[in-house]
């Protein structure tokens, strides 16, 4: 089974991109299963269900959705194998910019759009820099010039990745992405595999439900702003 993790900034087109790509996988008579991770609610499952494939949803609620995702990978894999999936697509919440969900030996796709601004690729961090494939959407509504600048900035951050232009509305690019997925190595089992980038700790009193502001309410991992480091430019 191929294990594909799809991350990306909010509303970048993750679901649109994968729906088009899954259509092509289905044409090849492959069995596809999708798991969607989100925080409080999602309607992505309906869009995937309309393809007539098995879909699971995991809501992380009060936990960082990416931490929640890592601690469920084995269960998600087991579920997908039960569905006899040849390809498992896991769409992450795309909310935590610091956590990068990429796992070694899983195909990691990062979906970003041309509208987030040319300086944003540098700020996204490991979610972009550790992915195998970067899919860039919404090129249909920005100028050729901005597309070229944006792509260049992405290449700077992740020179190793294949970069695909994708139109999430028409599906232009879906075949190329399908081919990339089929060219990736199937995964024998997720257990024991390693995150490409460690996720930051999230264990302070607020993680545990604290709501009151003030030092005496803070426990666990606490980091304070360093006001000595004045930045000017």
Partner 1 sequence: MIKHITILGGFDKNGNQEKISELKVCSGEVLAVVGPTGSGKTQLISDIEQYAEEETLTGRKILINGQPVDKPGKKSLSRLVAQVSQNMNFVIDLSIKDFLLMHARVRGISNPEQILPELLYVTNLLSGEPVTLTTNLAQLSGGQSRALMVADVAIISNAPVVLIDEIENAGIDRLQALKILTGQGKIVLVVSHDPTLMLMSKQRVVMKNGGMDKICQTTELEKRVLKDLIGLEEQVASLRERLRQGENLGAEDGIKADVEEKERRILWQEYRYTSL
State the binding partner of 162 from Zn ion, partner 1, Mg ion, none, CB within 5 to 8 A by kind.
Answer: partner 1
Residue 159 sits in the site that holds partner 1 (CB under 8 A): no
* Structural contact between residues 39 and 92, judged by C-beta atoms closer than 8 angstroms: no
149 binds partner 1 (CB under 8 A): yes
Residue 56, classed as helix, strand or coil, is strand
Residue of minimal Cβ distance to Mg ion = 15
DSSP 8-state class, residue 231:
-
Residue with smaller CB distance to ligand GDP, 10 or 200 = 10
77 to 66, 107, 150: CA distances (angstroms): 16, 14, 35
Asked if 44 is part of the footprint of Mg ion (rule: CB under 5 A), the reply reads yes
Verify binding: residue 14, Mg ion, rule CB under 5 A: yes
Give the contacts of 122 (CB within 8 A, at least 6 positions apart).
Answer: 153, 156, 157
Name which position in 6, 22, 60, 66 contacts Zn ion (CB under 5 A): 66
> Does residue number 50 form part of the binding site for partner 1 (CB under 8 A)?
no
Asked whether position 26 contacts partner 1 by CB under 8 A, the answer is: no
- CA-wise closest residue to 122 among 164, 158, 162, 92: 158
Cα-Cα end-to-end distance for the chain: 50
15: partner contacted, choices Zn ion, partner 1, Mg ion, none (Cβ within 5-8 A by kind): Mg ion
Interaction partner, residue 118 (Mg ion, ligand GDP, partner 1, none; CB < 5-8 Å by kind): partner 1
CA-closest candidate to residue 5, choices 82, 101, 73: 101
Nearer to Zn ion, 186 or 198 (CB): 198
Q: Are strands 107-113 and 55-59 parallel, antiparallel or unpaired?
A: unpaired
Between 172 and 218, CB nearer to Mg ion: 172
Q: Is 100 in the site for Zn ion (CB under 5 A)?
A: no
Please check whether residue 6 is in contact with residue 107, taking contact to mean a CB–CB distance below 8 angstroms.
no
Q: Name residue 36's beta-bridge partners.
A: 57, 91
Q: How far apart (Å, rounded) are the C-alpha atoms in residues 31 and 25?
A: 8
Our CB check for ligand GDP shows the closer of 15 and 129 to be 15
Point out which residues bind partner 1 (CB under 8 A). 114-115, 117-118, 140-146, 148-149, 151-152, 162-163, 165, 167, 170, 172-173, 175-176
Point out which residues bind Mg ion (CB under 5 A). 14-15, 44
């Amino acid at each position: 089974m191929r294990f594909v993790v799809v991350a990306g900034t909010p509303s970048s087109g993750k679901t649109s991109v994968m729906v088009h790509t899954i259509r092509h996988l289905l044409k090849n008579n492959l069995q596809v299963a999708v798991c969607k991770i989100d925080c409080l609610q999602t309607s992505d499952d309906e869009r995937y269900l309309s393809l007539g494939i098995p879909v699971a949803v995991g809501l992380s609620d009060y936990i960082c959705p990416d931490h929640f995702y890592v601690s469920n990978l084995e269960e998600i894999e087991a579920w997908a194998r039960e569905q006899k999936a040849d390809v498992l697509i896991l769409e992450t919440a795309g909310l935590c910019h610091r956590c990068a969900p990429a796992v070694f030996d899983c195909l990691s796709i990062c979906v970003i759009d041309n509208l987030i601004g040319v300086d944003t690729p540098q700020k996204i961090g490991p979610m972009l820099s550790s992915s195998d494939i970067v899919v860039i959407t919404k090129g249909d509504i920005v100028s050729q010039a901005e597309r070229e600048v944006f792509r260049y900035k992405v290449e700077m951050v992740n020179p190793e990745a294949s970069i695909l232009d994708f139109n999430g509305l028409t599906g232009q690019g879906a075949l190329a992405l399908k081919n990339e997925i089929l060219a990736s190595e199937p995964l024998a089992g997720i257990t024991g595999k390693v995150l490409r980038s460690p996720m930051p700790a999230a264990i302070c009193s607020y993680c545990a439900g604290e709501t009151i502001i003030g030092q005496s309410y803070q426990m666990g991992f606490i980091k304070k702003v360093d006001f000595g480091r004045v930045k000017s430019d």
